[in-house]
Amino acid sequence: MTTAELLSRIRLNGAVPRHVAIIMDGNGRWARERLMPRPFGHRSGMKAVREVVEGAIEAGIEVLSLFAFSQENWQRPMTEVSALMSLLEEYIAREADELEEKGVRVRMLGDLERLTPPAAAAVDRVMSQTAHNDKLTLNLFISYGSRAEILRATQSIAADVAAGRLTAAEVTEEEFEKRLFTAGCPDPDLLIRTSGEQRISNFMLWQLAYTELFISPVLWPDFGRHQLYEAVADYQARERRFGRVSA
């Protein structure tokens, strides 16, 4: 099936996932297959980001969450970490205006205090430049770890309870979710992980409770809108029961 045929099929199927999350994995292996250094794979992965952003808009997806850099990734060799930080700046510098024109609202989620000052400034700039957009929300998870996010929310609740602003009984799921980076976003309907790895790697542990999982063998730099649509079509053929029985 061509990409255009796939797109019209998923549109006809209706019920496009509102929120798609992607663990973008396999850049290093993609580079190694070409006897190139790992940052070459990361750079090539930027094209795939552009592809899935455009694909998400065309398919009518409301929220696209991309896991770009984990808290654990800070432990990679310094050369790789700085290459990734420069790529983040470059991505924003190159794409901000186009994202703005396409109606994309960009949000960066994670421990942004650890970013280098120029990267942090670029992040601030693109978030305020696109804050008013509503065609697609693009959540970029940078320096993000889900356990840390959950602890941060818990600390904020503990502080409010200690100060008498909240009682223990008022600590509901809604109250908790307000304190996550993803506050206001629906939970992901579909999680895609590329490169065949079958794990969550500390990504959105709370939010993924009932998300459908799709593991793609494709390495991230080779992923594009065609692969995105294949995942969406697979999702549309599933029955989500949320613990209940079929109708």
Q: How many helices (H) and strands (E) does the chain have?
A: 8, 6
Residues that bind ligand IPE (CB under 6 A): 23-29, 67-70, 73, 84, 195, 197, 199, 201, 220
Q: Smallest gap, in angstroms, from Cβ of residue 42 to ligand IPE?
A: 6
Active site residue 25: yes
Cβ contact 157:174 at 8 Å: no
Catalytic residue among 13, 25, 111, 134: 25
Residue placing its CB nearer to ligand IPE in the complex, 6 or 123: 123
Residue placing its CB nearer to ligand IPE in the complex, 16 or 70: 70
**The sheet that has 212-215: what strands, in order across it?**
104-109, 136-144, 63-70, 19-23, 190-193, 212-215
Active site residue 73: yes
The continuous run of DSSP H or E covering 68 comes out as strand 63-70
Residue placing its CB nearer to ligand IPE in the complex, 156 or 202: 202
Verify binding: residue 25, Mg ion, rule CB under 5 A: yes
State the alpha helices, DSSP H only, in the chain. Answer: 3-13, 27-33, 38-59, 78-101, 117-130, 146-162, 173-177, 225-236
Verify binding: residue 230, Mg ion, rule CB under 5 A: no
Bridge partners (DSSP) listed for residue 193: 23, 215
- Which entry of Mg ion, ligand IPE, none binds 68, CB below 5 to 8 A by partner kind? ligand IPE
User: Given the rule CB under 5 A, which residues bind Mg ion?
Assistant: 25
